[in-house]
């Protein structure tokens, strides 16, 4: 195998966020840009010679050419084997499972998650470590530091690989194995859930369902599992073909973007259960006939009912949630007398807790839930969990949700997103909030008395690492919270996320519409951060 060393120069914007490096496609298409970042990752790793690497992505535009480039760089740098999803496709949770199952050294996942795809849209790449989870901050910091010094990359002078034919081939000592991207994941799901019960419940007509793959990666997975294995009608899975531009849509599973699903679920003759997943398959939206389940409630309900699912019949070791996620799961953990951990946003923070056996379930309000079966959030896993729950409890989604509120109370919750805020404005808003923190405790705002006001910092109980500046929290004596956080998942400007939460114990008030119930907190949030005043906007871009 002939290997060439190519001279290059650093790009100053290759600092990966919580979910890897995300930029516009045209940025990744710059000469040496992708090559630099991949080489910087490999230069920062140790002892990988001869070992295996999992590779795949969500099928968005630039996925295939990027994979061909990465194959050649991995070969040149001494990896022994690449395990690649057929067509270059792998959902993020499936990639995590493959890393773990094959005891691979790690994996490269090509995705910008729920961001739009296409020639003028977004692309992304992230490295997952040997436990199947996203690289921790010490590693991503090392990738960035190396990217600022890089002056060459290595690439093998080999032909492009046939990504569409399953099988193995060797180029010298370098082995490339193209696999069915769905089979191993489907087998894993079959080991977790009661497939015979699900198949009977679907075939009898007790469960009718609609799954929106949003022309993203989970289409093939949903068709194989829901249709082929569980017997749901083929029309139960819509927008099932992965497209490079996601059909021109935004593959973000919420009521705003999964509008076709929402219209069906809130219309006449709605099926019993509806769900959607995102670009790379790690997020989920859960709905029932005329009801939307918030991700925070979904996590709490999953935790409260986990013993009904075969894989979790012996109970949970603990649960964890990201800091902005509602405190609904905390109430379940307290009732069941199990630990509950609060982490920063970013799935990598759950990895140490999962590896140490401290938790079994975890989730984020940003439509992500998962368990110890992989080290990523997992959209289809959550869908199957809910289907198994409906089949086991013989209740509708609405009945399950309302029974949960009756027992634990309701954390009325929503998130307001102000997208693509110009970075100087976004930073000024955060600084304005920081300046107020020392003065807020004890102040009275109508019915709300500020109990605490701080910036969340997290010390990892397993490795002792400390993550600072993870979101600004304003908590009130009655348990309500307002949280402000800049998200790093976009590629233009910054997204200001405002999280609003109020606990309601009175069952007669559980059916309140969230925006109405949270009106006072919404007004207080604007009073504190002045996002409308500073940006001239009249309201958030997305409410979830």
pLDDT along the chain (544 residues), means of 10: 97 89 97 98 97 98 98 98 98 98 98 94 97 93 97 97 97 97 98 98 98 98 98 98 95 91 96 97 97 96 98 98 97 98 91 96 95 98 98 98 97 94 93 97 97 96 90 96 83 86 95 95 97 94 86
Q: Judging by beta carbons within 10 Å of its beta carbon (0-12, 13-18, 19+), is residue 40 exposed, middle or buried?
A: buried
Q: What is the pLDDT of residue 6?
A: 98
Indicate if the alpha-carbon torsion angle 144, 146, 149, 153 is positive or negative.
negative
pLDDT tens-digit readout, 316-369: 999 999 999 999 999 999 999 999 999 999 888 899 999 999 999 999 998 999
Active-site residue among 52, 113, 277, 322? 113
179 close to 85: Cβ distance less than 8 angstroms? yes
Q: What is the pLDDT of residue 492?
A: 67
Instruction: Compute the distance between CA of residue 207 and CA of residue 271 in angstroms, rounded to an integer.
Output: 8
Outline where 3-79 has alpha helix (H). Answer: 25-28, 33-44, 63-76
- Does residue 113 have an active-site annotation? yes
Q: What is the pLDDT of residue 346?
A: 84
Question: Which of 515, 487, 325 has the alpha carbon at shortest distance from 419?
Answer: 487
- For 489, half-sphere exposure in the C-beta direction (CA atoms, 13 angstrom radius) is 20
C-alpha distances (whole Å) from 404 to each of 126, 191, 331, 407 are 37, 27, 11, 5
Instruction: Indicate the DSSP class of residue 488.
Output: S
213 close to 237: Cβ distance less than 8 angstroms? yes
59 close to 241: Cβ distance less than 8 angstroms? no
- For 471, half-sphere exposure in the C-beta direction (CA atoms, 13 angstrom radius) is 25
Task: State phi, psi for 504 to the nearest 5 degrees.
Answer: -130, 110
pTM of the entire predicted model? 0.94
Radius of gyration of the chain (CA): 23
User: 467 CB contacts (<8 Å, ≥6 apart)?
Assistant: 137, 344, 349, 457, 458, 460
How would you classify the pairing of strands 448-455 and 444-445?
Answer: antiparallel
Report domain extents, the chain. 3-181, 184-408, 410-543
3-181: what fold? Alpha-D-Glucose-1,6-Bisphosphate; Chain A, domain 3 (3.40.120)
Per CATH, 184-408 and 410-543 having the same topology is answered no
324 close to 365: Cβ distance less than 8 angstroms? yes
131 C-beta neighbours (distance < 10 Å), count? 16
Q: What is the pLDDT of residue 491?
A: 58
Q: What is the pLDDT of residue 137?
A: 86
Q: What is the pLDDT of residue 542?
A: 85
Q: What is the pLDDT of residue 489?
A: 57
Q: Is 229 helix (H, G, I), strand (E, B) or coil?
A: helix
Choose which CATH entry (3.40.50.10190, 3.30.310.50, 3.30.930.10, 3.90.1300.10) describes domain 410-543: 3.30.310.50
> At the fourth CATH level, which superfamily is domain 184-408?
Alpha-D-Glucose-1,6-Bisphosphate, subunit A, domain 3 (3.40.120.10)
């Amino acid at each position: 195998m002939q290997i060439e060393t190519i001279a290059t120069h650093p790009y100053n914007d290759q600092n990966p966020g919580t979910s890897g490096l995300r930029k516009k496609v045209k940025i990744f298409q710059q000469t040496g840009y992708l090559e630099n970042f991949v080489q910087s990752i490999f230069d920062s790793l140790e002892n990988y010679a001869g070992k295996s690497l999992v590779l795949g992505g969500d099928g968005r535009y630039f996925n295939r050419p990027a994979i061909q480039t990465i194959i050649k760089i991995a070969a040149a740098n001494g990896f022994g084997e690449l395990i690649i999803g057929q067509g270059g496709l792998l959902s993020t949770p499936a990639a995590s499972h493959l890393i773990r199952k094959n005891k691979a050294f790690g994996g490269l996942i090509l995705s910008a998650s729920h961001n739009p795809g296409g020639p003028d849209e977004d692309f992304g790449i992230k490295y997952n470590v040997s436990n199947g989870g996203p690289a921790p901050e010490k590693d991503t910091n090392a990738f960035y530091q190396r990217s600022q010094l890089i002056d060459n990359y290595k690439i093998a002078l080999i032909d492009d690989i046939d990504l569409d034919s399953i099988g193995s081939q060797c180029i010298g000592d370098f082995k490339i194995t193209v696999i069915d991207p769905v089979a191993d994941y489907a087998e894993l799901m079959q080991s977790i859930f009661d497939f015979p019960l699900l198949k009977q419940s679907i075939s009898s007509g007790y469960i009718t369902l609609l799954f929106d793959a949003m022309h993203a990666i989970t289409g093939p997975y949903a068709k194989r599992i829901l249709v082929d294995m569980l017997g749901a009608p083929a029309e139960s899975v819509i927008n099932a073909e992965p497209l490079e531009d996601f059909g021109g849509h935004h593959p973000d599973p919420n009521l705003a973007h999964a509008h076709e699903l929402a219209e069906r679920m809130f219309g006449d003759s709605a099926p019993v259960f509806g769900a959607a997943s995102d670009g790379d398959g790690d997020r989920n939206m859960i709905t029932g006939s005329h009801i939307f389940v918030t991700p925070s409630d979904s996590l709490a309900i999953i935790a409260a009912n986990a013993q009904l699912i075969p894989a979790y019949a012996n109970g949970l070791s603990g649960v964890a949630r990201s800091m902005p996620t509602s405190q609904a799961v905390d109430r379940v953990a307290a009732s069941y007398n199990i630990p509950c951990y609060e982490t920063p946003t970013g799935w990598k923070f759950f990895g140490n807790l999962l590896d140490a056996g401290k938790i079994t379930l975890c989730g984020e309000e940003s439509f992500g839930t998962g368990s110890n079966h992989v080290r990523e959030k997992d959209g289809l896993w959550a869908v199957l969990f809910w289907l198994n729950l409906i089949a086991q409890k013989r209740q509708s989604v609405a009945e399950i949700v309302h029974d949960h509120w009756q027992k634990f109370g309701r954390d009325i919750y929503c998130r307001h997103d102000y997208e693509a805020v110009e970075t100087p404005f976004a930073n000024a808003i955060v600084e304005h909030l920081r300046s107020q923190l020392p003065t807020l405790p004890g102040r009275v705002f109508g019915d709300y008395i500020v109990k605490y006001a701080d910036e969340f910092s997290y010390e990892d109980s397993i490795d002792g690492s400390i993550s600072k500046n993870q979101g600004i929290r304003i908590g009130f004596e009655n348990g309500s919270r307002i949280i402000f956080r800049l998200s790093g998942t976009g590629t233009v400007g910054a997204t200001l996320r405002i999280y609003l939460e109020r606990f309601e114990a009175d069952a007669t008030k559980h059916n309140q519409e969230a925006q109405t119930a949270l009106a006072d907190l919404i007004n207080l949030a604007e009073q504190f951060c002045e996002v409308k005043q500073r940006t001239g906007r009249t309201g958030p871009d997305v409410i979830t």
